[in-house]
Structure 1
Amino acid sequence: MAVTGIFLVFFLIAHMLGNLKVFSGDSSFNGYAHWLREVGKPLLPGVWFLWFMRIGLVVAAVGHIWAATVLALRARAARPVRYAHRKKVQGSYAARTMRWGGVIILFFVIYHLLDLTTGHLNPVGDPSRPYANVVATFAPQRWYVTLFYTLAVVTLGFHLRHGVFSALRSLGQQTPRGEQRAKAVALVFSAALVAGYLVVPFAVLTGLVS
């Protein structure tokens, strides 16, 4: 769970930074997308590096889901008989909705790939024009896409907040002061990532990027 989660977090950071290049304009953003296809040349032919990354992400995502499923089954097996009376466990909203949040994120990723990677659900639908695809998908008349994107990204933020906090706790932040630091780091990190992802669709929606 931790290893796959760390790999996915590093991808999210890199992907967010790449998305922000949309503010540099059409040619800069398209140039960045083209560069991604050229990484590794001439050592690697064509878009091999990109495919290596895609396969790695799929493996990490499947591994993360598998680990979550195994842990859930182990927790259930450890207590096959339900409590007759169980006190309410205090916990954050992110912790209580971790599994459902993962399901929402999974469905969003599938839609996101069909929209901005393959172009099947995009009004422009041309993978060679990534800037135009981004502007088209978050256009004001497609406000519902921005709404769905916002829901998914905020859900991801909750997911990350709990995940980063749990990871820091596992690394030794067990004292009350350490726990407070872990909570602060997890909150700041997840909030920054959410803001970094949402600024693009809202910039398009408001006409700042067109």
Structure 2
Amino acid sequence: MKQEFTLTVYTENQVGLLNRLAIMFSRRKINLESLNTSPSEIDNIHRFTIVVEETEVVVKNLARQMEKMVDVFKVNYNTNDEIIWQQIALYKVPTSVIMKEVKVERLLRKYGARTVVIREDYTVFETTGQDEEIDNLLKELDKYGLIEFVKSSRIAIIKSSEGVHKRVLNMEINDPTKKPINNEFLNHKSMIFQM
């Protein structure tokens, strides 16, 4: 049964990576509901937050395939219950309506919206929340002559995760290229050749 999953992909910030990830989704005919990319808590490691509606088996296989990519460190997939997530929305409304209608002011307070820009012809409000909250305010403001609306993609933090920071530190500690070379074998071999 299909359900909403959020994939968190930790990667190096390499040119062409987004294209390679997009190809993986399009080959499997998986539609992206939301895509966000941003720096992570570690320098030079980026975080992709991808929302899809699919079966767990398909998402699990996709996550495994992504982890095989050279630039990808870790892929997590989670249901909405396993993450804390938010989106941001901007609403542009005629300023004249805002000035006349006290109901609009109450409505904005109810949804925790704040004013971003006030001009003679329009006012822009911003709110953060989840789909239902954002969409409910959209429906209400539509009654008052909503001019424009935009919603960001999802950002999410996994409830039970330590992030990728600890894993990267362990990778650096266990990096075989940084370990000293054991010269005992080489010295023994060179002594044999000298004899």
Answer 1 or 2: which has greater strand percent: 2
TM-score bin, normalised by smaller chain: under 0.3
TM-score (norm 2): 0.22
